[in-house]
Amino acid sequence: MGRAVLTRARWRRWKKRVRRVVRARWLAWRTEGQRETAIRYLDMLADALEARGWRCARTYRPEVIVVRTPLLRVYDDEGVPTMLSVLAVPGGRWGVCEAPRGRSGFLCHCGGDGGEMARMVEWFLRDRMVRRQAEARR
């Protein structure tokens, strides 16, 4: 009666949980270990956003401020900042994410010349700005 039995259903749940933890740690390791890749994508994104008229503060250089995860601060027309980061995502790719939300704040995949990334991030920023203005009118 006091014997712990690992049934097939319990085994499957345990295996899923272990895989999820291993995947999360693997992605965190990739993000921390390949910091220069993340910085390169953030540079491409910042250049493309600045060409579209957005103000960006690159806070991932040690001369500016020392941070663990490279962050890009983008300001809208009203001066409200949005923090963006580039994180490793499943499938061996990289993705632009809203920094406070981590991978759950995924916006788009990285790649190309930065134009597609900038278009998706700009859409997100404009949508957020419109929602904030609508709330202010209420």
Tell me the per-residue pLDDT of 24-78, one tens digit each, with 9 for 90 and over: 889 889 888 888 899 999 999 999 999 999 999 988 876 666 677 889 999 988 8
Q: CA-CA distance, 58 to 8, in Å (whole number)?
A: 51
Q: Which domain holds residue 61?
A: 8-137
Examine residue 1 and state whether it is found in any structural domain, yes or no.
no
Examine residue 101 and state whether it is found in any structural domain, yes or no.
yes
Q: What would the pLDDT profile of 72-118 be if each residue is shown by its tens digit?
A: 999 988 888 999 999 999 888 999 999 989 888 999 999 877 888 99
Examine residue 51 and state whether it is found in any structural domain, yes or no.
yes
Strands (DSSP E) found in the chain = 55-58, 71-75, 81-89, 93-98, 106-109
Examine residue 16 and state whether it is found in any structural domain, yes or no.
yes
pTM: 0.81
Examine residue 67 and state whether it is found in any structural domain, yes or no.
yes
